[in-house]
Amino acid sequence: MRPINRDMNNFWTPDYIFDYAGEICGNPDNDFKFDLDVCADAENAKCEKYYTIDDNAIFQNWEKFNFCNPPYSNIEPFVDKAIFEARKGNHTCMLLPSRTSNPYWQKIFDNANVLFIGGRLSFGGHNNVKGSCAAEGSAYVFFYPETVQKDMKTVWRNDVGWIHKKIIRGDL
């Protein structure tokens, strides 16, 4: 794994983006909240339970319902871990730049549902101060256990963006 530049990867997820992700992928037994913020610190954690860069979430057990806004300089290991966690029965929502030409996006399209967010997000810095616009678009990536994945058959659009649905053989 590449070393991570802490300053260049420490941006706050906008609250409305996190809240909407919870409505789609959060724990239905806990007001659609997430159990774990996979990539956070004490200042920007969105959940009571969170992993910091020093905890190294890649080598930790994740919870049943997870949120992950990974360091954008090192996304692929988090995609691989989310796929692994889904196979264990866990749900993960990732917030990623929509750089679909990167090789890890093929893994995403093969294993997840994707909601492309319209426009560009403004990520905050320390103290949740509004930051500048992201250089590219963003997407929610939803990794579900296989049983849930197969039950989701609709492709839809809403006021946030568009969703890509993995086509399961037999659905055609």
| Contact assessment for residue 27 and residue 34, using Cβ atoms and an 8 Å cutoff | yes
Instruction: Residue count of the chain, please give it.
Output: 172
Query: Which is higher by pLDDT, 154 or 10?
Result: 10
**Residue closest to 34 by CA, chosen among 73, 60, 62:** 62
Amino acid residing at 168: I
What are the domain boundaries of the chain? 7-164
- Assess if CATH 3.40.50 describes domain 7-164: yes
Query: Which pTM does this prediction carry?
Result: 0.78
The string of pLDDT tens digits covering residues 95-113 is 999 888 999 999 998 899 8
Please write the tens of the pLDDT for every residue from 47-62: 999 999 999 999 999 9
In the prediction, which pLDDT does 2 show? 40
The average pLDDT across 74-85 equals: 97
